[in-house]
Chain A
């Protein structure tokens, strides 16, 4: 903890403050959000999370702190988890962004990670949940079979004030198991299919 590192702040200082000299000129950005290609004109200072929420109406992704501490705004940028309050919208130009709103199947069936959060009481108020779930997507790609300690370390950048994390950790491990089972069965099916073709 470094209580002395930042000077006291007199006024609200969201990320847009103090950058008014950059306001000249809008920039066009094009981003594929949850499978839909979208284009918008933004100020250069616009953050990705503001583009998502305010211009694209993708309000499933939320803001908690603006200092990249809480992780509530986590999305996948080209498949990797980022805190969208710490990415400029222009940095996402041409990229793919996946949010919590695109994770479930089109028929509403929950993704195995969402299902695991549901089954293991990995959420209460649900405000950190979009970030927590999207971070888990990335975490399980980095480490498909994490230990409890590895899950905790992997979620260190996402704060939850309700659950005490125990349900979340359990959910992530359950999701890892579910995903590995489905991956195994998929590859087993593939192997089976391949052997049928060869025979």
Chain B
């Protein structure tokens, strides 16, 4: 266990795995030697500007493009009617039999369903000319009634987002412990609890705010149709998936399309999509047979790039008065927005497997209703379903503790899975391979000085201090490492969950690692080189990563769901082990020994019991020379490996937040944040800490600052970064992080995932902390984001109602 948050770079344990290696990626990024998609300019390239709907729901009566077409520099103007070759955008997850899939065309035909829907596209010789001409496109709309609130959308007589579907219900999906064979009947258990004086039943309705992933690099696309393979550069997380989906839906065959994700400036799930804009740039490039570029503005990004979360959670928790949970019932309303992105309908379902958290729950049910509204589609954002679930259960654990007058740690401890109980089959049908929640929590409590803070809290309460102290707790587990292909198949997910890698052994002793996991800031080039260096004994410096291009890394499932190390990394390890297996008979031949007598250790093939050996580097050269190899052996060390995980990865941890709430202004200040995580064996502590700290800040953003707002007509009120508040350096604390290690048993490295842990654990930790401070004042709940005005209003309301009671 490492408790020291400070990391000394370049410390040298024997193995690369575990070293805080400084990143290979940094030098280019720090000197502006970068390849963002928008940096690309090609000969003859034209620029696109898009005309977007100002209405949440409207019929397109007519579009007059004549003025725009005649403007300076304009090469062409198209409406949906002008592009009969366009195909509807794909979805990749048919979650249920009753799933309704609305048609999303790259360029709208007939109607628009949310502010930002694209109605026309202008191509011009410069971006400025395209934008000027786009202003000249005259669209006549007939405004239609819109529905914004998902509960209103479910009411009888609500405007229909898609009248042709006849309902705003997109899909329903459920699971329960009886059907799964994992536990009892929830309704019976809750009903029994209601009639049992030794039990409590707690019902709460919680709200997940609508937020945006908030990547800093706006999305950008360049398509060059001037070669045999049409090349698309896109600021995407998923070039491999994008290629397949575009080939399946647009007029281009898979083998004629090459997709490249060059440097990508953050994604967080927001660039895990096949977008209408990507299809449009492709379609126009195919029309014009010349390179085409489109880069969105931030305002366009806010009104077209997918949003996330936006759920209503109706939760019922039953427990005995000693704190032991007896049943948990989850009824979700999930806002899809107006369309389905590739995973939109399935995101809430991922939470279904996680609402039970780290606890032993004897009866469980999950039911989700996916609902259409006239807003931007929701889809994956860092955590994807699991932060929502963790918020639900962890808020309820605090509500239970408050109801019973128990310490929130103790009520959790009473219910969580104990170290000796792994592997543990959960009530939601998963098997957690390993974990030690006691160890992580005890470490966190000590670092946090929990008892001292409780004492300070009591003092402040007694003295009616205007600044109250709250302690927020979240103990969590995360479903990561997407994903075992068979499980995905059982969920009607449209692909496997494997990852591919190739290792190319160059004659000068250098190594190219080709990975299908496409990086966009995670540090793959560094961490993967550490893995390969340990496997092959080749120096870290001599290894380079090739990724993000369907031509050079031809197979891949890309990067999301915290899968890069636990799936992508294992593919690389598999390929490396094949390299060693191929090299061994060649080494034996060079050593004039029998292969059975040769073993590979730290970069050298050694004849057992002798000092005779040959290095991997020498084998690489000899294989290339091919002058002296065993008879009949293929002169090739290069190896491919496709890894399909046998299980998900379950990183866990305990997060404790000390929040100060100014009861006079409603301002929340995160004074301290301790997070002790178990992410299994750590490959690079520097990168792990960075992933944790970044995720925490996004989680605090959701809890305190961020919200996509629409007015009742469906107008987007948070369309710029002036209106949508991304946390800055002053808004987040100095985190204190530490790690406990229980090795994953589902892969040979013992590694678990890390990327989504912060966004998963931070929102409930922060909200629990604020409510811990305010509960004595009579504040029952504040919905995220906990802005000063909302916190202040909740306090005023509580005071008012208390005065009513006492007065």
Contacts and interface: CB of A to CB of B under 8 A. Distances in A.
Interface of A: 1-6, 8-14, 16-18, 20, 23, 43, 53-54, 58-67, 69-70, 72, 99-101, 103-104, 108, 110, 114, 117-119, 121, 123-130, 133, 148, 151-153, 155-169
B25 interface: yes
Interface string B199-231: 000000000000000111110000000000000
Contact of B711 (A8, A61, A157, A158): A8
A133 B31 CA distance: 10
Given A121-B687, A165-B693, 19 more contacts: A5-B723, A6-B717, A18-B135, A53-B38, A54-B127, A59-B32, A62-B217, A65-B298, A72-B216, A99-B32, A100-B31, A119-B9, A121-B22, A125-B215, A127-B266, A161-B697, A163-B694, A163-B697, A164-B694
A27 B27 CA distance: 37
Contact of A3 (B522, B695, B718): B718
A64 B218 contact: yes
A16 B726 CA distance: 25
7 contacts: A20-B135, A23-B132, A67-B298, A119-B22, A126-B34, A160-B729, A166-B734
A108 B27 CA distance: 9
Interface string B276-308: 000000000000000000001111100100000
A46 B32 CA distance: 22
Interface string B124-166: 0001100110110000000000000000000000000000000
A127 B28 CA distance: 11
Given A67-B298, A165-B697, A11 B54 contact: yes
A126 B722 CA distance: 22
B720 interface: yes
Interface stretch (B44-52, B390-398, B428-436, B606-614): B44-52
Instruction: Give the 7 A-B residue pairs with the shortest CB-CB distance, closest first.
Output: A60-B32, A10-B54, A127-B265, A125-B521, A126-B29, A164-B693, A164-B697
Contacts of B690: 121, 124, 162-164, 167
Contacts of A72: 216
Contacts of B716: 8-9
Contacts of B218: 63-64
Given A124-B690, A159-B216, A10 B52 contact: yes
A72 B711 CA distance: 30
Interface in B706-747: 707, 709, 711, 715-723, 725-726, 728-730, 732, 734-735
B520 interface: yes
B720 A67 contact: yes
A151 B717 contact: no
B387 interface: no
Nearest to A20: B132
Interface in B241-299: 263-266, 268, 296-299
Contacts of A158: 728-729
B299 A13 contact: yes
Contact of A11 (B51, B217, B523): B51
B543 to A, nearest CB: 19
B720 to A, nearest CB: 5
Given A11-B51, A66-B298, A127 B718 contact: no
A155 B216 contact: no
B38 A63 contact: yes
A156 B31 contact: no
A8 to B, nearest CB: 4
Interface of B: 9, 22-23, 25-34, 36, 38-39, 49-55, 115, 127-128, 131-132, 134-135, 214-218, 263-266, 268, 296-300, 303, 520-523, 686-687, 689-690, 692-698, 705, 707, 709, 711, 715-723, 725-726, 728-730, 732, 734-735, 758, 787
Given A4-B717, A118-B23, A159-B721, A164 B735 contact: yes
A41 to B, nearest CB: 13
Contacts, number: 246
B36 to A, nearest CB: 6
Contacts of A167: 689-690, 693
Contacts of A148: 734
A13 B720 CA distance: 10
A125 B216 contact: yes
Given A1-B787, A118-B22, A156 B728 contact: yes
B298 A164 contact: no
B217 A164 contact: no
Interface residues of A, dominant DSSP: loop
Contact of A8 (B51, B128, B719, B721): B719
Contacts of B266: 124-125, 127, 161-162
* Most interface-central of A4, A66, A162 (chain B CB within 10 A): A162
B728 A159 contact: yes
A2 B266 CA distance: 26
A162 B128 contact: no
A159 B726 contact: yes
A130 to B, nearest CB: 6
A9 B300 CA distance: 9
A69 B26 contact: no
Contacts of B115: 8, 10
B790 to A, nearest CB: 11
Contacts of A3: 707, 709, 717-718, 723
B135 A127 contact: no
B36 A12 contact: no
Contacts of B31: 60, 100-101, 103-104, 108, 110, 114
Contact of A162 (B27, B521, B686): B521
A165 B726 CA distance: 12
B789 to A, nearest CB: 9
A53 B41 CA distance: 11
Contacts of A54: 127
* Most interface-central of B9, B214, B694 (chain A CB within 10 A): B694
A2 to B, nearest CB: 7
A7 to B, nearest CB: 8
Contacts of B215: 125, 127, 161
Contacts of B265: 62, 125-128
Nearest to B214: A161
B53 A2 contact: no
A11 B30 contact: no
A12 B128 contact: no
A119 B128 CA distance: 40
A114 B32 CA distance: 11
A114 B30 contact: yes
B32 A6 contact: no
* Most interface-central of B9, B115, B686, B729 (chain A CB within 10 A): B729
